[in-house]
A and B are shown apart, each in its own frame.
Chain A
Amino acid sequence: MSKIMSWFSALLIIVMCFGAIPKSNAQQANQEFDYDNFRDLFKPNVHKHNWSHHLKESKNELNFIFSLLFVAYKEVFSSQDIDACIFTPSCSVYAIETIKKNGAILGTFDAFDRISRCNPGRNKHRQIDEKTGKYFDPVKNINRKPE
């Protein structure tokens, strides 16, 4: 019995000694290091627009029809087009936003006005959006007073 006890005590001393060895800074740092920080590091940063919210946000039937036309254009035509619009937001987004904000008649005028301006000739004075490198021209900038 005493032999077992002495072996047990010896084992206990060894375990305690090893346990008492402090971990080095390097060990601590490596333990704290989390490989999950690298997760999705190579995931492409692609943002896909979901235009259907315009349909849900429609206030009346006319608004809904315009929104439907817009979503159809975006899904069928615009998705296959080259990135040709020189503005941000693009002419189609601008059109639907102004129609929703200012009504069908004024909005349609605004949309045609924007499309007529969608060429590099007349926009040198405009602010350039840093993210897209395009001319920044949101609906809130609409100025109906003659310049």
Chain B
Amino acid sequence: MKSMVKYIILFSIIISNPFVRNKLNAQNYEETLEFASDQYEQHNYTIALKTFKRLIFFSSGDELLPLYTKVGEIAFLLGDFETSQFNYGLAYNLAESDSLKNELLFKKAYSQILNKEYQYAVIDLLAVNDHDKATKQRLNFYLGTCYFGLEQFDRSKKYFELCVQSEDIASVDLMFSDKDLYYPSPKKARIMSMLLPGLGQFYIGKYKDGLNSFFLTLGLMAIGVRTAVNTGVVFALVSVAPWFQRYYTGGYTNAEKLAVVKRQNNRSSIYNGIIDLVKKNKVD
């Protein structure tokens, strides 16, 4: 008990010492803000995010807007798109000027687009106040991108056409040809490979894969028939049929996957072409 009292007295003396007390003080608001900004500058985004969130907890009024924006920015850099969108949304509610509101909406929409939430991005973009030409062009580009992601190509084309000058509208039209947008058809590739292994791959233009699939399935079929003739149908079904099924199924599944990738590549090229056109017509 005596030693306990001794320790309490000693502890009280240490704590009451002005020098120690000064050292024990928690960081104040400015110091924390400086620390968070430093962490952000040094690309330590996880620590910066945590600190900015802590600052938000202790902030009010005008201090909140830049903090929400910063948290949105850092969360975006960390690939946490939900947190990013949420904070940009909060910042938007606090922003007063139209230009800042627009900028925050564009940032939120970009985050949604990267997260493939095109429908939500369209809804948010409806709130953009497009009072000048550059904002209008940017808005149309964002909307075109969203509808492109939603595979509503007619709408997308309409918005991209609004981004370019009249002499380039024909180029946009040309880029949005059905042949490039919908070729190759994954369903068609799958059915073709079901009918004849490798045919779907040939349709896509993957000749090596097509031949590989054809000869592999044909070889397994030949082994199956030979086994059935030599040792009986039951034995062939038990020993070869599972392998045949695997590679036959694999053949048409792969044909479909390859078609999806090729079609996505085609669409990506079209989209990149649109970006070039819009860049050429950029309004400052």
Contacts and interface: CB of A to CB of B under 8 A. Distances in A.
Contacts of A43: 264-265, 268
A68 to B, nearest CB: 18
B interface, over-half SS: helix
Given A26-B98, A39-B275, A44 B268 contact: yes
Contacts of B272: 39-40
B177 interface: no
Interface residues of A, number: 26
B113 interface: yes
Contacts of B278: 35
* Best-buried of A24, A31, A82 by chain B (most CB within 10 Å): A82
B216 A80 contact: yes
B155 interface: no
B39 to A, nearest CB: 24
B9 to A, nearest CB: 53
B106 interface: yes
Interface in A45-83: 46, 76-77, 79-82
B11 to A, nearest CB: 46
B4 to A, nearest CB: 48
B209 A79 contact: yes
A80 B254 contact: yes
A44 B102 CA distance: 30
Contacts of A84: 246
A38 B275 contact: yes
A64 B209 CA distance: 25
Interface in B50-79: none
Interface in B85-102: 97-100, 102
A18 interface: no
Contacts of B149: 41-42
A29 interface: yes
A141 interface: no
Interface of A: 24-27, 29-31, 33, 35-44, 46, 76-77, 79-82, 84
9 contacts: A29-B106, A36-B279, A38-B113, A38-B145, A42-B149, A76-B212, A76-B216, A80-B213, A80-B247
Given A35-B141, A80-B216, 17 more contacts: A25-B99, A26-B132, A26-B135, A29-B102, A30-B134, A30-B137, A35-B279, A36-B275, A38-B271, A39-B272, A40-B268, A41-B114, A41-B271, A42-B264, A80-B209, A80-B212, A80-B251
